[in-house]
Amino acid sequence: MNTHPATPPPSRLSESAVIPLRTLDPAAPLDDLTWLDDAIGDARVVALGESAHYNREFYDLRHRILRYLAERHGFSAYAMETGFTEAWRANAWVTADARAADSSSGTPGSPREGASGTDGGDRLGEVMASGLSSLMGVWRQLGAHLEWMRRHNATAARPVGFYGIDLGGHNASLLPALDAVLAYLARADPDHRVDPAVRETAAAFAATSAFAAPAALAAYAQLPPETRNALTAGLAALSARMRGRRLEYARRTGAEEYERALRCLSLAVTLDSGIRDMVSGDLQSVMYERDAEMADTVEWILRRHDRIVVAAHNGHVQRWPGVLPGMDPVTPLGMHLADRLGADYLVIGATTGTGQMLNSDPAAFQSGALFAPMGPPDPGSLDALLHAGHDGPFVTDLRRLSPADAEAVRAAAVQRAGNGPHHSPISALDAYDLVVHLPHVTAADPDEAALAASPEEVREIFSHYKPL
């Protein structure tokens, strides 16, 4: 009988597992990213994860990787965790599209009323504020990314489009998607009268920013049940009408405009269901519905582009069930895409060491304390394993580990999940193909022009923001 204790897995990865990243500077030479050549193979979707939103280093990393994949591998779309309808305005700007989307009405593909010129070249701050949802666009690093896309697209044989994959309306308001649908129907079916109560009810709980979302959900909760039910029925009727008249509408407006409006409507229907669930406290159903809809949106984009980059939180892109405190596991976007795309879906997850992350205290966040100090990762976590003993950012390919390194990764059964101290169960070897480790992350820099173009409550809260 063997009485010797089992050898514990190593507490750090070997040097052979580490591929250093020379810099995160998006403008720097890209030669330190040549590991991507073999890593991505023929994958059509490369998903880039992040541990938390609004960190400078994640914005810069995504910028560099998109540059590399666009310039050297022909990737032609950047699909980000932000509102689908809103992002048409950002896409119009980076592609200098004269059909710039009207951000105020949410109408995709129509000229912006009152715009000077056709390409919005002098309105980047306005595009950042209204062309992305959930505060994703009010940061200087995101603005630099959009500027690079615009410069690249000015001369590129294969321009790079910008897309949102999320529900939109800061995941609390139907108006951006619904207004896009109503504007489309006014052109495709001008004789049809949509019940005005549908929009009136949606306007009763509209959210103009992520800061206004809690109040919007509270307003929805105060609506009489019969009013909520009438809204849901009205959206279902719109969906049935649009789907039933597909050929007729597509002949009138073109197939692409029809398909875009139909996607907006699908997002509005799903968000309506999600808001119902949020108000009733069923957050698990919200996560199921949201990620399945995001997967459908990624597939929608793939019908228009051969190869795309998807940028979202680790919890969305991972090929492993998502777990939040007090909830059963749910199916994230990444599991849907892995099931549908197989080897055409490649995931680059992310871990962090120390620094700053989004404040998990809602009251503090709403008061302008947007970020909080991030303590070291929990011992035994994937973040702790990658953080031990290796200086600077690096990537490790989980498919090419030595047996000892693979065992160490297998033993790291939890990962930092985002805001606050929460760590979620993870099987990294199943969830990711590669992992980038950032030893120290900081808050992104607010963009003054984007804030100036933002709603009043955003300007007010940011006026109290003080970097740590």
CATH topology for the 1-72+308-453 domain: EreA/ChaN-like  fold (3.40.1660)
pLDDT in tens, 27-63: 999 999 999 999 999 999 999 999 999 999 999 999 9
The dihedrals phi and psi of 87, each to the nearest 5 degrees, come to -65, -15
Whether residue 43 contacts residue 30, with contact meaning beta carbons closer than 8 Å, is answered with: no
- Give the pLDDT mean for 77-89: 98
Report whether pLDDT(102) > 90: no
**What's the whole-number mean pLDDT along residues 446-467?**
97
Whether pLDDT at 429 is above 90: yes
What local confidence, expressed as pLDDT, does residue 101 receive?
40
Q: In this predicted structure, what is the pLDDT of residue 323?
A: 85
Angle between helical axes of 213-222 and 255-280 (0-180°, round to 10): 70
- pTM, to two decimals: 0.93
Other C-beta atoms within 10 Å of 242: how many? 20
The secondary structure element, H or E, covering residue 16 is none
Question: pLDDT tens for residues 282-336?
Answer: 989 999 999 999 999 999 999 999 999 999 999 999 999 998 777 889 999 999 9
pLDDT over 50 at 363, yes or no:
yes
Provide the pLDDT for residue 256: 97
Q: Say what percent of the chain tops pLDDT 70.
A: 92
Domain residue limits, the chain: 1-72+308-453
Read off the pLDDT of residues 7-22 as tens digits, 9 standing for 90 and up: 677 789 999 999 999 9
Tens digit of pLDDT for each residue in 191-215?
999 999 999 999 999 999 999 999 9
Q: What percent of the chain has pLDDT over 90?
A: 86
Q: How far is CA 226 from CA 231, 271, 425, in A?
A: 9, 18, 41
- Span 111-170, pLDDT tens digits: 332 233 334 445 999 999 999 999 999 999 999 999 999 999 999 999 999 999 999 999
* Cα separation, 105 vs 452, whole angstroms: 19
The answer to whether residue 404 scores a pLDDT higher than 70 is: yes
The token duo for 114 is 């009152």
